[in-house]
Amino acid sequence: MSYSEHKAKIDTREVAAGLLLLVTGGAAALQAYSFDDESRMFPLVVAILLAMTGVAIAIHSIVKPTFREPVIRKISGVVLVALIVAAWAAAFAGGAGFVLPTFAMQVALIWLTGIRRPVYIVGIAALVTALAYLLFVGLLDIPMPQSFLPGVLQGY
């Protein structure tokens, strides 16, 4: 690789994405203020987190050095992630429940990031799956569809 491919440059696409998230989060937070007291907290917290994520992305893109990755490698990664998410959706809709497909999807996505420590992968995947389940079922009270799992595991 030539030296120009390793030169530190600001990735304007990431800065723009960060600023877009900041503006979207800010607008959503302003909208959430108009909600009544009972339903304001959750959308307000999510909007603020979205805005903070945008700020972090923008700052990170300015601070970090960049290098050009081959386009085919970027596209193949995106396609692979899309296939993993499609397989998750098919398993979820096909009756495999929520926990097993979500855990498997998390393991696959974490593996794709380059992490290769099995205990770490399983731990993070289990944590994300548990938090997602608690969010959707416990906090938001969204019922899970019927699954082909044994009766004891129905609803998971």
Same domain, residue pair 76 and 86 = yes
- Say yes or no: 1 and 75 in one domain: no
Residue whose structure tokens are 């601070």: 63
User: For 80-104, what is each residue's pLDDT tens digit?
Assistant: 999 999 999 999 888 888 889 999 9
State which of 48, 68, 88 marks the end of a domain.
68
Is 1 in the same domain as 39?
Answer: yes
What is the crossing angle of helices 99-112 and 118-133, to 10°? 140
Q: Letter for the amino acid at 110? A: I
- Tell which of 28, 52, 68 closes a domain: 68
Q: Are 87 and 128 in the same domain?
A: yes
Tokens (6 digits) for 116: 């290769």
Overall number of domains in the chain: 2
The domain containing residue 88 runs over which residues? 70-156
**pLDDT at residue 148 in the model:** 80
Same domain, 114 and 59: no
| Amino acid letter, residue 11 | D
pLDDT in tens, 18-52: 899 999 999 999 998 888 888 888 889 999 999 99
- 31 and 58, same structural domain? yes
